[in-house]
Amino acid sequence: MLFNSFPFLFLVIVTLVLYYNKFLRKYQIYILIISSFVFYTYGQPILSLLLLSSASINAVASYFVYFENNKRRKKQYAFLGVAFNLAVLSFFKYSPLFGRALEHFRSLDGIGDFLVSIPLPVGISFYTFQGISLVVDLYRSNHQSECPLFKVDRNFIRHYIHTIFFISFFPQLVAGPIVKAYEFYPQIKTKYLEEINFESAFKILIIGYFLKMVIADNLKDQTFWMMFPYFQVHSSYTLMTMLFGYSIQIFTDFAGYSLIAIGVAKLYGYDLPKNFNFPYISKSFSEFWTRWHITLSTWLKEYLYIPLGGNRRGRVRTYINLFIVMLLGGLWHGAAWSYMFWGAYHGILLAGERFILQRYGIPNNRYLDIVRILMVFILVTLGWLLFKLPEFPQVILYCNAMIHNFNYPVNQTIITYVALYTFPVALYYVNYLLRTRTGKNYLDTSIVYAIMLLNIFINSGSSGEFIYFQF
């Protein structure tokens, strides 16, 4: 069920009416759980059993991890919980990749065909990561201490219901933001209509839908021509423009989704973490990853980079850890070699940047900062080719066409539309920069929100799935 569809709007409204009905107040969690499974089963009914099974196993594992006093058994329960989540993710997400690799071995054709046929459940990358965070956070905490990360209800049934709710909460179920258990569980309580800041929620929703439906969905009609073999007949200028447009498209598509998820969650009294913070003004690649898909970046840092040793075991080990984390982060995005190359690409950029900064340093200079921002944006944008084009040889062909097609005719229509629909994003960023200096939000006016809302109704592009739904 897409966020930009009438069934989703109908589900949100019906759920709100039931949720804040004073006669049903004590059933609020159950109402949201039912709505979440309605949302999830709308497209893949049978795979809802996987979601329920995953949440159930995580509920059992986390309960035993938290209340087990024996350290050895506690560790065993935590290991089994994490292993289960990783096994589910690996089987459903990466089996097709292994299946395609087995095509070279004729004696294993049957196995390869089976692995390739395994469906990819929507949102599995997100809810398995949330399950891991639940188990690991409780393993790290001590329920006997005075200040645990969060408390687990001694009554298993209540803990089970809370865990099902945490894993399945529909605004963030299929594409995040990735919510950590210690961020969500303390919020589980009765919500009252008068406590909700509906103005803030609606403003977030308008910005989110504008970014997705007006910017991203219109840009996708122009960036469609980046696909093989269409890009081969376009000029270098058109190819560069389309790549720039795709960079803006993937930002507005995912940032728009995250804002919609945050806004819808606010309607029910739950705060989800910020997922984007104007990443395209980053002066370094490390800063970019504190601004882009923030919940994934922090998850990888807390549950992978730091356990690997972080930057505590010398420079060489730090470079290796950065590379490993980004390589696995790339594979998290999809079961294709192009995603692995994308992760390796960012790992090299992060490690190389860290080496240069430690060895030479960079002076604090305003004009140099502008150059750094442009360099980071250009290299990040080049990396998005690995997202857009499914086969690595096609990425090479696209780059080759950008270098050699300067004599081809320029497609004025594509360039005009990309410029038109990236202009509001430029204003969005300029307003942020001005706000950081003056403290005033120049776009936070009724007229601006009215213009965005009008464009959502009359100038939306053709409806398309969110790019990150595939992950």
Active-site residues, by number, are 333
CA–CA separation, 374 vs 385, rounded Å? Answer: 18
Separation of alpha carbons 449 and 343, rounded Å: 37
Written as six digits, the tokens of 115 are 């692995």
What b/e sequence results for 411-425 when a residue is b if at least 16 CB atoms lie within 10 Å of its CB, and e otherwise? Answer: beebbebbeebbebb
Q: List all residues 6 or more positions away from 243 whose beta carbon is below 8 Å from its beta carbon.
A: 226, 381, 382, 384, 385, 398, 402
Contact 96, 118 (CB under 8 A): yes
Pairwise CA distance, residues 101 & 88, whole Å:
20
Reported as half-sphere exposure (CB side, CA atoms, 13 A), residue 461 has a value of: 24
Q: Is 276 exposed, middle or buried (0-12, 13-18, 19+ CB in 10 A)?
A: buried
Q: Tokens at residue 263, please?
A: 């806004």
Residues in the chain: 471
Of the candidates 215, 379, 425, the residue with the CA atom closest to the CA atom of residue 282: 379
In the structure encoding, which two tokens stand for residue 124, read together? 């599995």
Q: Measured between alpha carbons, how far is residue 71 from residues 29, 61, 77, 196 in Å?
A: 33, 14, 10, 42
Is 329 within 8 Å of 159 (Cβ atoms)? no
Give which of 211, 225, 219 is closest to 416, Cα–Cα.
219
> Taking phi first (over 0 means left), then psi (-120 to 50 degrees means alpha), and beta for anything else, what does residue 462 get?
beta
**Cβ-Cβ contacts under 8 Å for 453 (sequence gap 6 or more):** 206, 210
